[in-house]
Amino acid sequence: MSRLSFQEKMLYAQLVGLAILVAFYLHFLNNTPPGHHWFHAAVIVVLFLFASFRMILRRGSGNVVQDERDRQIAAIGTRWSNFILWTGLVVVLVMYWDHGNLGKGMVIGIIFHLLLLAGLARIIRELVAYRVAA
């Protein structure tokens, strides 16, 4: 783990955080009726903590350098994530146009799962790119 770059360590931390988020969702919130949990606040707090932690570490250590390879790998992950998000949004639109009223819960569920899938794809694709380039 000591041979990993800062970006790779952050990707592993994001992967662990996403796994914890999904486990929490599956265990506690999968069958809970709306309005009886604070999951949305937990998601916002986790995202804020990741962003703050990464910003503090990048500013605190002067030896963290993002070179061209890191930018290219981040772009690869972003392309995969954007492709999944756009494909999912088009599917939601087609489903809405074909079926009319989808229901608020179904649309929110689809968007939530799209965001999880896009984040997971971005993280895994970037980790694969780092390992291949190593």
Beta carbons of 46 and 17 less than 8 angstroms apart = yes
pLDDT at 1 over 80: no
**Which tops the pLDDT comparison, 7 or 36?**
7
Span 104-116, pLDDT tens digits: 777 777 888 888 8
Q: Could you give the dihedral angle defined by the CA atoms of residues 63, 68, 74 and 76, in that order, rounded to the nearest 10 degrees?
A: -160
pTM: 0.72
Spell out the domain ranges in the chain: 6-133
Residue 12 has pLDDT above 80, yes or no: yes
